[in-house]
Structure 1
């Protein structure tokens, strides 16, 4: 049968099935790719108990403001030979601190968490020979003087890889 010039093109049933399959196939494929990427990149673990964490927030914020007013600052440097933490008070080395303890965690995993105590090398300078695997880490640092809390700081940092 020859189609006339002005006669509209007719879609048959299989055309409609093909269009619907392409439409829904695209939507399903995009959803599967996004779900796979979300599952691979984030475990969903932020805190173990959100209620307890929310109750501690105001206390931690008040403590942070008090530390900021004291003039103490800490700087963490991670390298291939270990970790170095330098504390200063108003630009001068912090002399009172004798112990620094760090709890090191991955942002979304627990199996590599560790706690370590830094060795005091000089006034305000603390070092650990602990090598870290490359990638993002969160360090919760606690500085003590004679058993009393002097400073607390949480730092997110990236441990260098072999070619950095």
Structure 2
């Protein structure tokens, strides 16, 4: 049995391996950066220091809202209007509206105003396009404010 001649590992081989390795790393990094940038919805708060000064007030407001004991169920109807059912003790709101936000910020925000449809039931005056939406609901009743968030499809 005759030994096979071995090929020498040259600088050209290591250069090919290094260019291939870093080419893959750079390609993946650029792809991930583009994906992250295209799905970023924007700034959460303009100034985190100023936001932190309001934190205790926000906690107090949340506790007062929770003490009301209200719950909301939202659903998009076939005609595009949003149906809202508000339940809880003494849930007689004077004003109900919501801000609809597209989760990825691809569509502009929409403000929805709700009209009474039946006791504890409301229907939006505006239509909401098909798709997934995040609704920030605000209900005002006898000087009290209650807020909630929910997804609507």
TM-score (norm 1): 0.75
Give the counterpart of 2:31 among 15, 30, 33: 33
From the superposition, tell whether residues 113 and 52 of structure 1 become closer, same or farther in structure 2 (CA, over 3 Å).
farther
The separation in 1 between residues aligned to 2:152 and 2:70, in whole angstroms, is 23
| Runs of 5+ unmatched residues, structure 2 | none
Unaligned runs of 5+ in 1: 160-164
Deviation at 1:119, TM superposition (A): 0.4
The answer to whether the 8 A contact 1:106-1:112 is kept is yes
For the residues of structure 2 that align with 1:23 and 1:110, how far apart are their CA atoms? 35
2:66 corresponds to: 68
2:122 to 121, 126, 132: 126
> How many angstroms does 1:109 deviate by?
2.8
CA distance in 2, matches of 1:85, 1:78: 9
Question: RMSD of aligned C-alpha atoms?
Answer: 2.7
TM-score (norm 2): 0.79
Listed as ranges, the matches of 1:132-147 within 5 Å are 132-145=128-141
Out of 9, 12, 15, the position equivalent to 1:14 is: 12
**Match 1:105 to one of 101, 105, 108:** 101
Partner of 1:78: 76
SS in 1 for 2:72: strand
Find the counterpart in structure 2 of residue 162 from structure 1.
Answer: none
- State yes or no: 1:56 paired with 2:50: no
| SS of equivalent to 2:108 | coil
Aligned partners of 1:6 and 1:110: how far apart in 2?
62
- Secondary structure at the residue paired with 1:112? coil
What is the deviation of 1:111? 6.0
| Partner secondary structure for residue 54 of structure 2 | helix
Q: 1:108: Cα distance to partner?
A: 4.7
